[in-house]
Amino acid sequence: MNSESHSLDRRKFIKQASLATVASAGLMSFTSNPGPVSTGLNDINIVGPKEGFSPHIGTLVSMMNWMRFVILRPVNGMSIKDLDYLVDDNANSIGAMLWHLASTERFYQIHSFEGRRWGDWDQKDKDDWSVASALGQPARETIKGNPLEFYLEKLETVRAHTLKEFAKRDDDWLMEVDEEWGWGPTNNYCKWFHVCEHESNHNGQFKFIKSRIPS
């Protein structure tokens, strides 16, 4: 198999797997008392320790998985035109924000797994992630024309590395406190919960933008 065919097969697999996950989310009902829900997604609604991780890291992973499951719901089936849509001249597109989420997670990998501080990126990371990290006008000018699977592949690739690194660490590492962090003493648990919370923030933006896309 040549490299081009392998790349196409990989993109097809990622798209099918990711969109199947999103489609299954239709089973979930966010009512005040939804009752038990079976998604067929390895107990996606069970927050708690997960096999292959220390107890607290596994609980964090379960929250990150659930949030990722939720943020992909509103983007399911979006066309390139939808992903590139700008509400106004100062807005960010959904496509750019999906890349931004992968970029943010990559930053926390660089920081907490590699021991590097903000801005201490090598050239490859700068080329891959800096525009999406900052968003704004550079992103409006350059992040467009990509299908949904383009962004899903970035999210999945980055998340796979996060899970691989989490599996190497324990709860003592998760509880380690960084006394010099920008918003005050912060442990690794809080930093990585912020990655989850950050996706929640953009989930609201996805829904708002989607509601404004001309039918």
Is 87 inside a domain boundary? yes
For residue range 6-52, list pLDDT tens digits in order. 444 544 444 444 444 443 433 333 333 333 333 345 689 999 999 99
Cα–Cα distance measured from residue 27 to residue 184, given in angstroms and rounded to the nearest whole number: 40
- pTM for this prediction: 0.80
Residue 33, in any domain of the structure: no
Sequence-ordered alpha helix ranges (H) in 93-187: 94-114, 123-134, 136-142, 148-166, 171-175
Q: What is the pLDDT of residues 138-186, one digit of tens each?
A: 999 999 999 999 999 999 999 999 999 999 999 999 999 999 898 999 9
Question: 182 lies in a domain?
Answer: yes
Q: Which two tokens stand for residue 144?
A: 């467009």
In this structure, is residue 15 part of a structural domain? Answer: no
Q: Is residue 192 part of a domain?
A: yes
| CATH number of the domain enclosing 59 | 1.20.120.450
User: What would the pLDDT profile of 106-130 be if each residue is shown by its tens digit?
Assistant: 999 999 999 887 667 788 989 999 9
State how many domains the chain has. 1
For residues 84 and 93, give the distance between their C-alpha atoms in angstroms, rounded to a whole number.
Answer: 5
The single residue listed with the structure tokens 């801005």 is 119
Residue 41 lies in a domain: no
Query: Residue 188 belongs to what domain range?
Result: 47-212
Residue 187 bridge partners (DSSP) = 177
